[in-house]
Amino acid sequence: MTARADFDVGPLSWVKGEIDHAIQRAQEALRAFAANSGDAAQLKSSQSHLHQAHGALSIVGLEGITRVSEELEGLLAGIEKEASLRKSEIFRVVERALNGIRAYLDQLMAGNPNQPLRLYTLYRDVVTARGGHADPTDLYYPNLSFRPPKRDKVAGALRAGESDKYLREQRGRYQRGFLKWLKNDASGAGDMRAAIEAIEAAQGPTSQRAFWWVSLAFFDALAHKALPQDLDAKQLCNRVEQQIKRLAEGTPSVAERLMREVLYYVARAKPATARVREVQDAYHLAQTIPAAESDGDAVEENPALKSAREHLTHAKDAWNKFASGNPPSLLAFRDSAAALKDDAEHLGNADLTALAGEIAEVAAWLTSNRENMSEVVALEVATALLLLENALAGFAHLSGEFAQQAQLLRSRLVDCMLGKLRRTAPELPLLDEMSRKAQERLLMNQVVSEMRANLRTIEQVLDAFFRDTAKRDELASLDKPVHQLLGALEMLGEQRARESLGAAAEEIRRFSGAAHSANPQDFERIAQTLSGLGFYIEGRAHGKVDFETAMQPIAAARKEEADAAQPVATVEAQVAEQQRETASLYEEWKTKPEDGVLRAELKKNLAALQKDAGLIADQKLEDSAGKALKALDKTSTMPLTPFLREAIEKITAAAAPSPSPEAAKLIDASAEAIDAELLGVYLEESDEVLATIREHLGTVREQHASKEALTTIRRGFHTLKGSGRMVGLMRLGEAAWAVEQTMNAWVQEERAATPGLLQLIELAHEYFSDNVKRLKAGGVSSDERSLVAAAERVRRGEALEQAPPDAPGALSAPAAERAASAKAGLAPAAAASAPVAPTEPEEFVELGEHRVSTTLFAIFSGEARAHVSAIREEHEILRQHGVVSDALLRAVHTLAGTSGTVKISALSDLGYALEKALQKLATSELSEDEQSLVGEAIDTIETMVTSVVELRVPRPVPELVAQLEHIGEQAAVSQESTPEEKEPAPQSALSREADSEAAEELAAAEPDDSLLDDLDLDITLERRQRRLDDDLDPELLQIFIDEAHELVPSVGSAMRDWRDNPANPALGQALQRVLHTLKGSARMAGAMALGELTHHMETRVENAMSVKTLPTALFGELETSWDRMGILFEQLQKPRAPHGNLPAVAVPSESAAADIEAPEAVPEPVPLAGAQAAAAKPVPLAERELQPKALLRVRADVVDRLVNQAG
């Protein structure tokens, strides 16, 4: 529990962005609650985000600022419980405190000392708002690891009997002096000091001696009246007397809080004596107190200055990486330098603005030609950045020397751009020193960059081994990066870090042996060692780092294992133990209320707890113990008395703070126990986060190396992870975590986005978008495993050819593609381009009288369960809102079709009957009987699917099918009896494109031959491209046709949407996704010609999206290909001998148009010979309406010109 003024910002830099983000979210939610205090979910969200920030602050060792966040959490909890606290002034206190925390962290990152007392004013306001009393010691955390100097002579040890008597005498002496001092007798301070000096002299070389040695300095200052008048020493003197009492009673442990309080008084004292100066120097107390009292309030700063510091930090990091050989970082440096220039203009210092502007000019100059870069340029820019850093850190006290320094550096930067490179250091001494430091920093960053890369390689290989110990052979590849890392540490003189890595390397070598058994504890120890080394190496980039701090977790574990040192006993530790004992005694007494011994022990424990709580200044605990004692005195055998139970509960709660309500729910609930109150906030926040991800994904598509955009996307998934877990959506949390882990690799290594990463982000965005829709509709989240697997593949550098199988939201590949790909372990494209005959006879499963291949059955089982889940979710929408959704119809239709494929006629019949009924009920409100019948049908479908999965053939339900058909007929009759309310009949494909009147005008028009020639030429060229021969799978073909009935029209719809709004990249991506899905489906079914055509269309879309301006001929080419797609799809449904040329293109006549509008007149498709059984069932009306007709597809501009020519 120590904090240093020279705080190591390395660990903080790792989590600073997340802390800022969490505080920002907490502020936004609190503002929303302040505007509408009835929205309790916003307050819960604010508490949760603040708790995240509080946890991160605790991890990096900022005890003082953590104390502020702890009180803030308490204040928010009070606002939740007490309406009287929901006032504007209270909300302003919280807002100011949160801003103060962020500003304080910014100042730490800018190089300011860690002095939590600068937050005291804000802290006092928060504590006062809670009705408490603030003490500066609450925020005072000096380094307590220092020890007093050794004595010249070792004190003689007192014998046991003499020691007790001696300490009692000194306590009496101290008490007499204390009473005299309280009566304003100055000699009393001297008496107290003499008693403390005698006690200190009797202490051996233990850690407890430090307290008495420091206390001597305090009483020196007290006797010499060297303490500030605002300090009231009475309470402190009283607590020192209690510490003497504990020592006399045989308990030498010292309260850490008391030690910090004594040091605070000594730090504030004038150095009146040699002992005061000695203690102040030994504990570096001058660094722990703000230079002036006003500094305690100076945490909120100029927004422009804060922004300038942030952009300067980004610029330094980017420049160091660029100078170390990372070219993509130049663009990041250019952007940060430009932003820094804009910030400088708002600060009002002409010299600073001019210097920032010159740095931005150099960035633009290098961007235009990277060949201009040299070691001299690297050093000059680094020196200029260092001067800017110093100027911004002390902006309020800039001297006239800065103008001279800035002018000199500007001239040197200009000379660099003119080719006049100066290889001598600047003439000014300060700039000469800065130039030297800049050169050291550049060299250090280059070395650190190489070390980080080697460490990442080691961690990646070990991570794979820890997950799968069969990958033992890969450990041999670690010899090279380990050797390089050891050499770099030796070059830097980091002997302790080198020894730690060497020990870890020895353990890794033991893992390589086949006889070595894997031990998870060894894995954990090595992971902690490498993590600590990562912190340490990162800290070296910032110029200062403490090895012990960086290696704290593993060092603590080793110290505990080796028992190298006895832990320092503190009163705080004893109080925690007493609290646990109190809880244990009370629980035991409740079971034996007549046991007077237990009651006596409980009373004794409470009395000790009350005294020790006063010693550590824990007023709440002291009060609770006192109330418990009073309640205990009023009862003898009634442990469940409400007052006593409440007092005991407060004591035991302080021993181990109970988790937040959200955390408790996550612990006690199942994996997906959703907090309904927080769900609304989560959904609203998710919409914002997903919109941000989508926006920056577009940026990354244009600028693959945009670190800022990639970082924003990563932070978005980090938010989704934290929020999902907070609400209880563990599957979504795991999915977001997997994507975040992959994004971390790109952000940390500053790699340019690859197509695989872009596809993963797109898939993840679709997954979360779909789940947000599900949750809004009252459904549950979907399985995350496929997305997690995709993230792992991208992280390992493997190709991601297709969407994760179960990723909802995206138009996923069909089940056949998933099963075959998983079984063969091949990408669909590769499998399609080189079909391989099975090497083993295909296996079958028995379903009643029919045999179905195991592959097809596995496909059906997975798909059927997914469809049932979707039907359940959409039925809930129907039940609550009376809406028959397209998703419900689609799920029922597909399940009915695939059931026929695997010969489950009972399920297929029921599915088609339900589909027909839902179609005819879609335009009217369902009665209770109709709702009940639909619900019964869905329940029966689910039961049937369960039976099939268990290889049991479900029984037919003709009565239920007849009821569904009857209900559909009644609805149809009802609609026909009210013509004024009659809905338009379902339109054919052509009538959806143009109404019948337009079709008649088009038929009567005399077409322009040149236009038709152009169109025919496009189609002919499309046909002349290389086509693969179809190799149709009869069993999978019907599944593909069912799915293609939806996908082919979706291609046209997506294409039209993008054509209408070409500036929206999301529409192009939607078209690319549906083409990708259709391609995979076609290839799995063996429709190679259609799959190849779709592949070319997808490639065209992908290429077009990689450029800023879409090609003018793009949509014309896509529409021509779509025409060809329709012809190929129709041929799959009506197979015939291949034609050498395209059929003559003709405009449909009026009779043809009439035929098109009458779906019943369309002849049934002739099934393939190999698929007779699958297609023997008559195709339902809804399916026939979706089948493509013999249509003419032309571009919209061609139609317009033809209509104009026709008059």
The pTM for the full model equals: 0.47
| Percent of the chain's residues with pLDDT above 90 | 15
Stretch 865-879: mean pLDDT, rounded? 82
Give 669-709 pLDDT, tens digit per residue: 333 445 555 677 778 778 888 988 988 888 888 777 777 78
Give 376-392 pLDDT, tens digit per residue: 888 888 888 888 888 88
Task: Please state which CATH class domain 571-658 belongs to.
Answer: mainly alpha
SS3 category, 254: strand
Stretch 194-221: mean pLDDT, rounded? 86
428 or 847, which is more confident: 847
Listed range (214-218, 634-638, 714-718, 1081-1085) with the worst mean pLDDT: 634-638
Q: What is the pLDDT of residue 532?
A: 77
Token pair of 226, please? 């060297």
Q: What is the pLDDT of residue 951?
A: 80
pLDDT bracket for residue 1013 (50, 70, 90): very low
Listed range (420-434, 606-620, 746-760) with the worst mean pLDDT: 420-434
Stretch 568-591: mean pLDDT, rounded? 74
Domain 446-562 shares a fold with domain 665-810: yes
The residue type found at 559 is K
Residues near 426 by beta carbon (within 8 Å), at least 6 away in sequence: 383, 408, 409, 412, 432, 434, 435
Listed range (7-21, 30-44, 972-986) with the worst mean pLDDT: 972-986
Separation CA 945–CA 952 (nearest Å): 9
Does residue 1019 carry a pLDDT above 50? no
C-alpha to C-alpha distances, 835 to 435, 832, 1031, nearest whole angstrom: 65, 6, 9
Buried b (16+ CB within 10 A) or exposed e, 1031-1056: ebbbbbbbbbbbbbbbbbbbbbebbb
pLDDT bracket for residue 270 (50, 70, 90): very high
Q: What is the pLDDT of residue 618?
A: 73
Q: What is the pLDDT of residue 656?
A: 44
1207 or 797, which is more confident: 797
* Average pLDDT score, the chain: 74
Candidates 1015, 1117, 1112, 992; CA nearest to 1062 is 1112
Q: What is the pLDDT of residue 277?
A: 93
Separation CA 759–CA 30 (nearest Å): 36
Does residue 237 carry a pLDDT above 70? yes
Stretch 186-214: mean pLDDT, rounded? 86
Does residue 986 carry a pLDDT above 60? no
CATH number given to 844-977? 1.20.120.160
Does residue 526 carry a pLDDT above 90? no
Q: What is the pLDDT of residue 76?
A: 94
List helix spans (H) across 882-927: 886-901, 905-921
Q: Could you tell me the fold of the domain covering 991-1205?
A: Four Helix Bundle (Hemerythrin (Met), subunit A) (1.20.120)
Give 638-674 pLDDT, tens digit per residue: 565 666 767 777 776 544 444 444 333 333 333 344 5
Q: Please check whether residue 370 is in contact with residue 330, taking contact to mean a CB–CB distance below 8 angstroms.
A: yes
Buried b (16+ CB within 10 A) or exposed e, 299-321: bebeeebbbbbbbbbbbbbbbbb
SS3 category, 452: helix
Listed range (59-68, 110-119, 197-206, 828-837) with the worst mean pLDDT: 828-837
Q: What is the pLDDT of residue 124?
A: 93
Element (H, E) at 853: strand 850-853
Does residue 98 carry a pLDDT above 90? yes
Q: What is the pLDDT of residue 1086?
A: 79
Candidates 269, 266, 211; CA nearest to 240 is 211
Q: What is the pLDDT of residue 67?
A: 92
Q: What kind of architecture, by CATH, is found in domain 9-139? A: Up-down Bundle (1.20)
Does residue 914 carry a pLDDT above 70? yes
946 or 728, which is more confident: 946
pLDDT bracket for residue 515 (50, 70, 90): low
Candidates 38, 323, 284, 243; CA nearest to 146 is 284
665-810: in CATH 1.10.3720.10: no
Listed range (137-146, 344-353, 434-443, 967-976) with the worst mean pLDDT: 967-976
- How do the domains of the chain map onto residue ranges? 9-139, 160-291, 305-424, 446-562, 571-658, 665-810, 844-977, 991-1205
Distance in angstroms between the alpha carbons of the first and the last residue of the chain: 89
CATH number given to 446-562? 1.20.120
CB atoms within 10 A of CB 682: 25
937 or 1103, which is more confident: 937
Give 589-624 pLDDT, tens digit per residue: 777 777 777 778 877 878 877 777 776 767 777 777
DSSP assignment letter at 846:
E
Residue length, the chain? 1207
Does residue 194 carry a pLDDT above 60? yes
Buried b (16+ CB within 10 A) or exposed e, 191-230: bbbbbbbbbbebbeeebbbbbbbbbbbbbbbbbeebbeee
Q: Could you tell me the fold of the domain covering 305-424?
A: Four Helix Bundle (Hemerythrin (Met), subunit A) (1.20.120)
Q: Is the dihedral of CA 456, 458, 461, 462 positive or negative?
A: negative
Stretch 1120-1147: mean pLDDT, rounded? 64
Candidates 926, 960, 959; CA nearest to 941 is 960
Does residue 72 carry a pLDDT above 90? yes
**Which residue is associated with the tokens 């353990």?**
507
CB atoms within 10 A of CB 984: 7
**Three-state SS letters, 690-704:** HHHHHHHHHHHHHCC
Q: What is the pLDDT of residue 466?
A: 76
pLDDT bracket for residue 1138 (50, 70, 90): very low
Furthest C-alpha separation in the chain? 125
Give 274-318 pLDDT, tens digit per residue: 999 999 999 999 888 887 544 444 455 677 887 888 888 888 888
Does residue 517 carry a pLDDT above 50? yes
